[in-house]
Amino acid sequence: MHRGDIIQNRQIKPINVHRRHDIEYRNLAREEFKAFSANDFSYMNSGGSGPTPEYVVSAMRDSDDLCSGPAYLEGSAFYARCADANNRAREAAARLVGAAPEDLALTQNTSHGMSLGVAAMDWREGDEVVSTTTEHPGCLVPLHALKKRYGVDIKLVSPPVTAEKIKAEMTDRTRLIALSHVDWTTGEILPLEEISALARERGALTLVDGAQSVGNMPTDIPATGAHMYAFTAHKWLLGPEGIGAFYVSPDCEVKSANLGFLSLADPYSFNVEGDYELKSGAGRFEASTMSPALAGGFAAAAEEAYERGEEGFAEIRRRADLLMNLLSENPGITLRTPRPAKNGLVSFEVEGVKAKDATEKLLEKRFVVRFLPEPTHYVRASTHLFNSDEEIEGLAKAVAAL
């Protein structure tokens, strides 16, 4: 991209988010990742934070070079450049999850989206929310704040989570069901379609944490029936930290509490007396300036995941199955993830070894996994397309030797 051409030609040029046409989607080469291209570490924590490959870093750099450089010489067209980066991110993410771009708002991450969803509802003392005992703090902390601030009753369902269990906790005061699509502690997929249908039947809304689903397994958000669904770029998508998306279904008329210039349907019709309209779609949840560099990286990551398609998801599952098969050969290891694998999360316990100690010992052997906090006490590995079978076999042997 030549800067002189950018300045002279005021048509906005999309940054190329495609990689080589001859890519093999079953594998991602270690050389693509600066984090471990020059060492022998085995990184298996994409469920915590996925490393950014070169095609994402390059897209971020291209977007930043434009919007931090020559775009400043274009007067008001500078803002169009920034908006275009955001539009590309929205469009790529929407395509990946089967949604319309106008139904997605750009956010900081999954937790940010969950907070936006909780804050979008008008709460009263005695209202009820149903969630689960294994939710991530990104879901539960905003719910606990409702209890403290408004006197909302939070009801928690224990795994295995079923629509029947959720229904048993619902009353005529239940206004929200907030839960994950994929349980971050075990990788279990929750029956989201059934739960969403139940919520709609009972007049409640659904708010879904999609941190461990998007990029980890095929995800068609509108098909789940969820009213609101939050996900991030920086885990399974291998995108940058600091950006994600928040889906709001067209029939969900909640009010955004995150408002600003970008929330306006027509920013230039702003009136100091308040005589203006907000965007009708999810864009009402976007308030102000965002990073074009992060948007460029998000677009590249989402586009790449879409191009990999089912072939990529199948390989993530195959690697997880391989790891679980190897771990199950050791009687001292207890698997906590359902088999066969439905995604890349693999959780387990090692007899006589605390999860935190296990992860520290494995790190000494150059395997990066994570431990889950109380009350689970699990070790959790995440298998992705840059993990070779040899690495997975090596991890299984290292765990057996603990």
Torsion of CA 199, 204, 210, 215, to 10 degrees: 50
Amino acid of residue 70: P
Instruction: Return the pLDDT at 171.
Output: 98
Per-domain residue ranges of the chain: 87-302, 309-400
Q: Strand, coil or helix: what is 198?
A: helix
Instruction: Return the pLDDT at 243.
Output: 98
Q: Count other Cβ atoms within 10 Å, centred on residue 193.
A: 13
DSSP H or E segment with residue 30: none
Instruction: Return the pLDDT at 332.
Output: 97
Instruction: Return the pLDDT at 124.
Output: 97
Q: Count other Cβ atoms within 10 Å, centred on residue 339.
A: 12
Instruction: Return the pLDDT at 14.
Output: 44
Instruction: Return the pLDDT at 25.
Output: 66
Q: Which residues of the chain are modeled with pLDDT < 50?
A: 1-22
Q: Are 16 and 299 in contact (CB under 8 A)?
A: no
Instruction: Please tell me the class of the 87-302 domain.
Output: alpha beta
Q: Strand, coil or helix: what is 268?
A: helix
Instruction: Return the pLDDT at 10.
Output: 35
Distance (Å) of CA 192 to CA 118, 189, 195, 314, 318: 18, 8, 5, 21, 24
Nearest alpha carbon to residue 161 among 153, 169, 150: 169
Q: Count other Cβ atoms within 10 Å, centred on residue 358.
A: 21
Q: What pTM was estimated for this model as a whole?
A: 0.93
The 10s digit of each residue's pLDDT in 160-179 is 999 999 999 999 999 999 99
What CATH homologous superfamily does 309-400 map to? Aspartate Aminotransferase, domain 1 (3.90.1150.10)
Tallying the residues shown for the chain, one arrives at 402
The 10s digit of each residue's pLDDT in 204-253 is 999 999 999 999 999 999 999 999 999 999 999 999 999 999 999 999 99
- Cα separation, 270 vs 332, whole angstroms: 65
Residues with Cβ within 8 Å of 371's Cβ and at least 6 positions away in sequence, in order, are 355, 356, 358, 359, 377, 378, 379, 380
Q: Are 81 and 73 in contact (CB under 8 A)?
A: no
Angle 139-140-142 (CA atoms, 0-180°, nearest 5)? 80
Instruction: Return the pLDDT at 105.
Output: 98
* E strand intervals along 255-344: 333-335
